[in-house]
Chains A and B, each alone.
Chain A
Amino acid sequence: MSDIKREPPTEYILLRHHEIANIDRLDIYRKHGGFDAFQQTVTNMQPDEVTTEVKISGLRGRGGAGFPTGLKWSFVDQHNWPHYVVANADESEPGTFKDREIMEMNPLQFLEGVAICAYAIQAKTAYVYLRGEFWDIAESLDRHISELEAAGLLGENLFGTLYSLRIITHLGAGAYICGEETALLESMEGKLGQPRMRPPFPPSYGLYGKPTVVNNVETLTNLPSIITHGGEWYSKIGTEKSTGNKVFSLSGHVERPGNYELPLGTTFRELIFEQGGGIPNGRGIKAIMPAGASSSLIVATEEALDTPMDYESVPNLGAELGSASVIVVDDSVSIPWLINKTIHFFKHESCGKCTPCREGNYWMVHLTERIDSGQASAEDVELLRDVAEQIKGKCLCALGEFSIEAVLSGIERFPADFNQTVAD
């Protein structure tokens, strides 16, 4: 389909600033094929051909849920107009900092991805919803957008066609819940950031009640390469069901924390020990949280370390890959201390809309505080488990359901840590 062929990149699809200096400059980005893919879609492809190509690529949402991107686009209601694209740049999961690097260092590729998605669903307006703390990124994106408009790469009648596109940035006000796509849409509409009831899902009822695709920054940033090199090419990277590269945000007890772009299916061992340089101070690795605070705790056995990081394999360890923000926990850490931290976070970020999350996290904070500070009994640990079980499966959105992952897995998989605190 594409007649602009160039050599597939050897290493980077997303963090291309590692290969190309100043890729955030339009002239440099253009020199390396920037916006050729978008021009290609607008001038030579039908919208559904773009969606088909993305389906072929096997690209899955990088925000955490791993939902097939092309499939999501194909759900957009064609009988209800206008359509909108919203780039989810609310990156708030503790331990996740990949979207930030992409938007800071390779912003034009991200914006090109937004544009390709918009064309695919025939949206004439696309929004970038950034967490409130990303005000500086929003400013720089605004500058890039103006530059693209001046260059005729965004705006009216693009490339001499009837297609027009505006991209608008929007800052949130600092709420984790607004990363949940329906809460994000509420927030964009100027309302309190609380998730909506689903169904209906955004592709049928989204922003202002109109069909909307909400995609993560990283997901969108993949699109130019998929268009340029073809979905087939992309689908060969990674594993059979988890295709492509992923930016892993590595943090915690590692020598070299940071973002690492690796094919899906890379093992934890490769990421933590080869790329990240292993655990500092000669300590042993105790646990891994593969999806930030929303993770179950993986016991860092040899078997676990050799598990490929993809959407299918991580569940075998009783966890999810999620946004692939890998937090490494060494053997100095007490698990009750750790879950006290995560529960404080969820209690602080619970939007309060549904009862189990609002009340349950508040209750769990009291319990984890007491357990962590050694003022609790074994019954309190049981109660904590009960409360977490009581939240499970009853919440309105995923935030509440994720809040208990670390608690339940921590109590189940690290009983010695709890025995120790309640015994003291």
Chain B
Amino acid sequence: MTMSDTIRKTVTLQIDGVSVTVPEGTLIVDAAKRAGIDIPVFCYHPKMEPVGMCRMCLVEVGRTVIDRATGELVLEEDGSPSVQFGPKLETACTTPVSEGMVVLGASDKARQGREDIVEFILTSHPLDCPICDKGGECSLQNLTMGYGPGESRYLYDEKKHFDKNVPLGELIFLDRERCIQCGRCVRFQDEIVDDPVIGFFNRGRALEIVTYSEPGFDSYFSGNTSDICPVGALTTADFRFKARPWEMNSAASICTQCPVGCNLTFNVRREAASGGNWVVKRVMPRQNEGVNEIWICDKGRFGHHYAGHPERLTQPLVRRDGELTEASWDEALELVADRFRLAGDDLLTLAGGRLSNEDLFNLRQLTDGMGGRKVLYSTMAGGNLTAKYGMAPGSNFADMGPETAILVVASDLEEEAPIWWLRVKQAAERGAKLIVLNPRPTKLERVAEYILRYPYGAESAAVLAMMNVVSAQHLDLPEAVQNLARSSELKAAAEVFTGAENGVLIFGSEGVGLEGSRVLAEACANLLTITNHIGRPNNGLLGVWQRANDQGAWDMGFSPVLDLESELQASSAIYIVAADPAGDDPSLVSETHKFLVVQDLYLTPTARLADVILPVQAWTEREGTYTSGERRVQRFYPAVRETSNVLEDFAVAGKIGELLSLDLETRLAGRVFNRIAEEVPDYGGLSYSKLAEVVEQWPIVGRGDLYYGGTTYENAQGLGIQLPNSEHEADDSPVWQDVPLIDIPRLGLLAFPITRLYDGGTTLLPSQLLHQRIAEPFVVLNPHDANRLHLPLNSSVLVSLADKPAVIASVQFDESLPERVILVPRSFGLPINGPMPVEVKLAR
């Protein structure tokens, strides 16, 4: 609850005889909902502005009467205020409450009004519930049962029929005759996510939803429209005609695609088509107003297929005579344990941020037990700093408004973490001061108050320039940011950030490699420290990590290393878990390594080089916890039964540990978590049962009425717990190191990494549905450079990054790019891990 909420005046009114006290300005429909009274709606949605279109929420409204002459309330004989009812029914969704108001939602007149509206809607509805995906979870079905007439007076033959199979894009299909023209989808795209790519066309009964974009319905959030559609008009290509709602079980989970940690619900069923196995049929948001509210992005919704993919590893493999051959678990684990024992402190464990806290904890115990090194596979640094200076418990983007300043540095936030983009945008719309510091334009800038540009490679210097405005100590600035440092915009932005009651600083990895990231994180932490934006709710540092549980990995003691290649070369035993370095850069891993163990879901390029491969369960098959970028620890639950003969990552690590006489928990994730709570200070006092606690959230969704959330699920499985800031001494504040600056060469080109939401990663590619949205490998350069190098638009080029083998990509132009800068996307098969020299030539 924000300050403005607590001081808001309240209003008391009567709804169907129940006295309700709500904040001034509340709409009747919401006031009723809070009091447990259902006023049915179709078009109204509590996350959007009311429009009063469907007319379903008609109620009788009586208001107190003021005597014009005296200005006093007119009273009845018994002294109670006189209440006057209007001649017409009013829409509860557009009418704010007032003191003394009397609302009749269950009167004969109101009930008749609703029956009238339902009858009207059904005159044009095909009533094809038996074949409709929404059947069983449809607002129209439910409200027809609750309020509709028993039979129709409309002649069926006079019904107008429309197309039932209109693709708005390849992800979302429209059934035109089921559509009741409530406009929720159009308004969601417009008001909530600012992708107004669908709209109404034509009028009257011909009113239809169309898409204006190419490709159709071009938005990262399109799937949400199928959740809030009150009928079966919008369905996803992923779930359309795949199952009936009542055949499925649901399980709570957490999304693994990015560090936001969106709460999910899986709908699963056991089916013949999958050989009698349990399969995930669809992914939907689960309400967590502190994380994802009731939304998820399309990557989270449609990108789950990797978990259930047929090419999953199912059996341990051991290299014999150069060939990977099947082996028993005992055989494989004993081999691994023997070789790890032999390696001793020469063991290197390289873990990916896809792993759960429990997995990472056991890997840590195993590695530390051997005296080995723990490395996180990431090109971002600063997880130690986000632990100390991160957003304190009680932080919630939804509470941020004019008192908060949000600074976003080096991040294309919508591409890196779409739901954070959404929440930052909404905070800005509520009045939060948004400052975007980035080398090129991004969608976030549409709502920014200050847009500041720095040259590629100068992100830390740019943050330093802001610090110089507000700190007594002035640090030397490199030439590249002198213009920025002198600009009045930067000064104003720095002063706004400093002066704001609350300040949040979000840093990403746009154009940044690991070394730059380390300095950037320090610069950001310094800025927060000197502006006193640490240690309080809605203040602090937020890293836009590259994997869902990178923060958890840092918390468990893993961190990335600058020269991974040398580290790998220097180790006599390497244990790579949930990471595919060879897939990103084939030169990182080679068969010359002394002993390589790979633990993964698939036979990745790295796994192909392994001496032992250990198959594991996907996150859909097991339980565990992830720590989001906001340092919220959240539980995920088993949704489908595990593939036979594979184990959880923590269990595999635990069993290896046991063979090495280490005391590790191998059986239950919850018991591993208890050990985390004992041994990792920030996690002290936490337990699975605490993580599963919930409180009532607004809006109320997911209940039988289906009005608000549609198929968004109510959260009954835990809102998670935000970790406290790590202990740190007063003089422990980060120290300023050298300002690294990447000089753009006078000759040649310098490549900078960028992130695309839909990339070529191994966890995304198994989702066939998204293939049309995943670009071919590409590079972006200035047309002048391209012209100079004779590289036409869309041409195929050979891209040689540093001294690595050339990779084919296509050419895209961006006129806003400076000359000699070329952008290379991560996870597209181009081996980029930071700014590096690059050669580009036409592929013959």
Q: Which residues of chain A have a CB within 8 Å of any CB of chain B?
A: 175, 177, 192-194, 197, 347-356, 358-363, 366, 383, 386, 390, 393-396
Contact = CB atoms under 8 A, between A and B. Distances in A.
B203 A352 contact: yes
B684 to A, nearest CB: 52
A353 B51 CA distance: 9
A366 B205 contact: no
Contact of B160 (A192, A193, A356, A362): A362
Given A358-B205, A362-B160, A396 B116 contact: no
Contacts of B54: 354-355
A131 B567 CA distance: 75
Given A348-B204, A355-B120, A359-B205, A396 B113 contact: no
A383 B124 CA distance: 17
Contact of A390 (B119, B181, B200): B119
Nearest to B120: A359
Contacts of B200: 192, 194, 352
A395 B116 CA distance: 12
B204 A350 contact: yes
9 contacts: A177-B203, A347-B205, A352-B207, A354-B52, A354-B53, A356-B116, A359-B120, A360-B120, A396-B52
A221 to B, nearest CB: 30
A358 B205 CA distance: 6
Given A192-B199, A351-B203, A363 B51 contact: no
A395 B58 CA distance: 11
B89 A358 contact: no
Contacts of B153: 383, 386
B121 A355 contact: yes
B384 to A, nearest CB: 47
A361 B207 CA distance: 14
Given A350-B203, A390-B119, 17 more contacts: A177-B203, A192-B201, A193-B203, A194-B203, A348-B204, A352-B203, A352-B204, A354-B52, A354-B54, A356-B116, A356-B120, A358-B120, A358-B205, A359-B121, A394-B113, A394-B116, A395-B55
A165 B741 CA distance: 54
A358 B55 contact: no
Nearest to A379: B153
B203 A355 contact: no
A359 B58 CA distance: 17
A360 B205 CA distance: 10
B55 A396 contact: yes
Contact of B123 (A194, A350, A363): A363
Contacts of A395: 55
Contacts of B207: 351-353, 358
Given A197-B51, A355-B54, A393 B89 contact: yes
Interface residues of B, number: 36
B206 to A, nearest CB: 7
B154 interface: yes
Contacts of A194: 200, 203
B181 A394 contact: no
Interface in B309-365: none
Contacts of A192: 199-201, 203
A364 to B, nearest CB: 11
A343 to B, nearest CB: 12
Contacts of A351: 203-204, 207
A406 to B, nearest CB: 18
A396 to B, nearest CB: 6
B154 A363 contact: yes
A356 B181 contact: no
Nearest to B182: A355
A170 B154 CA distance: 41
Nearest to B49: A197
A373 to B, nearest CB: 14
Contacts of B94: 197
Given A363-B120, A390-B119, A352 B55 contact: no
Nearest to B125: A359
B117 interface: yes
B87 interface: yes
A396 B87 CA distance: 15
Contacts of B730: none
Contacts of A358: 120, 181, 204-205, 207
Contact of B58 (A347, A350, A394): A394
Contacts of A359: 120-121, 123-124, 205
Given A352-B204, A352-B206, A363-B154, A197 B52 contact: yes
B204 A354 contact: no
Contacts of B69: none
B785 to A, nearest CB: 38
Interface string B155-176: 1001010000000000000000
B88 interface: yes
Contact of A355 (B53, B87, B155, B201): B53
Contacts of A356: 55, 116-117, 120
Contacts of A393: 87-89
A271 B500 CA distance: 70
Contacts of A362: 123-124, 160, 204-205
Contact of B50 (A197, A347, A366): A197
A383 B123 CA distance: 14
A347 B88 CA distance: 23
A394 B50 contact: no
A386 B154 CA distance: 12
B72 to A, nearest CB: 25
A358 to B, nearest CB: 6
Nearest to B86: A393
A13 B58 CA distance: 45
B87 A353 contact: no
B398 to A, nearest CB: 25
Contacts of B203: 175, 177, 192-194, 349-352
Task: For the complex of A and B, list the 6 residue pairs with the smallest distance between their C-beta atoms, beginning with the closest.
Answer: A352-B207, A359-B120, A393-B88, A350-B204, A390-B116, A352-B204
B123 to A, nearest CB: 5
Given A197-B52, A352-B181, A394-B89, A361 B120 contact: no
Contacts of A366: 155, 158
A217 to B, nearest CB: 24
Contacts of A347: 204-205
Nearest to A176: B203
A359 B177 CA distance: 13
B55 A354 contact: yes
Nearest to B155: A366
A356 B205 CA distance: 11
Most chain B C-beta atoms within 10 Å of own C-beta, residue among A348, A352, A360: A352
Interface string B199-234: 111111111000000000000000000000000000
A197 B203 CA distance: 17
A200 B181 CA distance: 23
A175 B51 CA distance: 21
A395 B153 CA distance: 21
Contacts of A348: 204
A258 to B, nearest CB: 32
A394 B158 contact: no
Given A352-B204, A363-B154, A394 B117 contact: yes
Interface in B46-86: 50-56, 58
A193 B56 CA distance: 22
B53 A396 contact: yes
Nearest to A191: B199
Interface string B109-138: 000010011011101100000000000000
Nearest to B180: A355
A369 to B, nearest CB: 9
B199 to A, nearest CB: 7
Contacts of B124: 359, 362
Interface in B167-197: 180-181
A386 B180 CA distance: 22
B603 to A, nearest CB: 53
A174 to B, nearest CB: 11
